[in-house]
């Protein structure tokens, strides 16, 4: 993963003074053929290899959408649905689902197909990452609002808002628990 940003989720959504960008403007696909160098001890592709491809594709989308550097703030969820094998051609499809003032959620789908077969690709994974746009000094900078274009884009936008609400609630609950334990004299 790339550098972490500090608390990008505590922002107010949308940046009205920056023109919005359509979902399709930054959508991208990264493809890579899996080799023996990518395997784990079980002989399938190592999950970390897939996660790096996911982060790379999501980072490209975040940078395109924001018009400059963006860093990984969090990986909200990474689901591995099927194993990936040596010789699979992996396609990592990413798009911005939601934007706040300085952060954006990028949704990623991972597909795999045999390099020498004409069967359609199978979805083998998915992930949601939060990126923070940063300036030359590494400070958060505003991002354009995302403009969902299709019904799927609109659904993804709404689901991203739910994930954001859950991330903030989870963070708040953990901080409250830590403060309570500290007040009771417990050191973690």
pLDDT tens sequence across 100-112: 999 999 999 999 9
Percent of the chain with pLDDT over 90: 86
Structural contact between residues 72 and 134, judged by C-beta atoms closer than 8 angstroms = no
pLDDT tens digit sequence for 117-175: 999 999 999 999 999 999 999 999 999 999 999 999 999 999 999 999 999 999 999 99
Q: What residues contact 121, with CB distance under 8 A and at least 6 apart?
A: 89, 91, 111, 112, 113
Cα 2 from Cα 56, distance rounded (Å):
9
Residue 1 has pLDDT above 80, yes or no: no
Return the pLDDT at 14: 54
Sign, Cα dihedral of 171, 176, 182, 187: negative
- Tell me the Cα Rg of the chain: 18
Confidence check: pLDDT of 176 > 60: yes
Please check the confidence at residue 5 and state whether its pLDDT lies above 50: no
């Amino acid at each position: 993963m790339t550098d972490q940003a500090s608390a990008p989720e505590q922002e107010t959504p949308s940046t009205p003074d920056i023109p919005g960008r359509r979902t399709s403007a930054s959508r991208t696909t990264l493809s890579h053929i899996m080799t023996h160098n990518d395997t784990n001890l079980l002989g399938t592709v190592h999950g970390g290899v897939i996660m790096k491809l996911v982060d790379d594709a999501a980072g490209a989308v975040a940078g395109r959408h924001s018009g400059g550097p963006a860093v990984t703030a969090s990986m909200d969820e990474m689901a591995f649905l099927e194993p990936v094998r040596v010789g699979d051609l992996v396609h990592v499809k990413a798009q911005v689902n939601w934007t706040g003032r300085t952060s954006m959620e990028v949704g990623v789908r991972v597909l795999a197909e045999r390099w020498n077969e004409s069967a359609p690709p199978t979805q083998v994974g998915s992930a949601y990452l939060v990126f923070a746009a940063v300036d030359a000094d590494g400070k958060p900078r505003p991002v354009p609002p995302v403009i969902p274009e299709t019904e799927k884009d609109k659904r993804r936008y709404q689901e991203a808002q739910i994930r954001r609400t859950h991330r903030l609630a989870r963070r708040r609950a953990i901080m409250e628990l830590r403060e309570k334990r500290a007040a009771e004299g417990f050191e973690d």
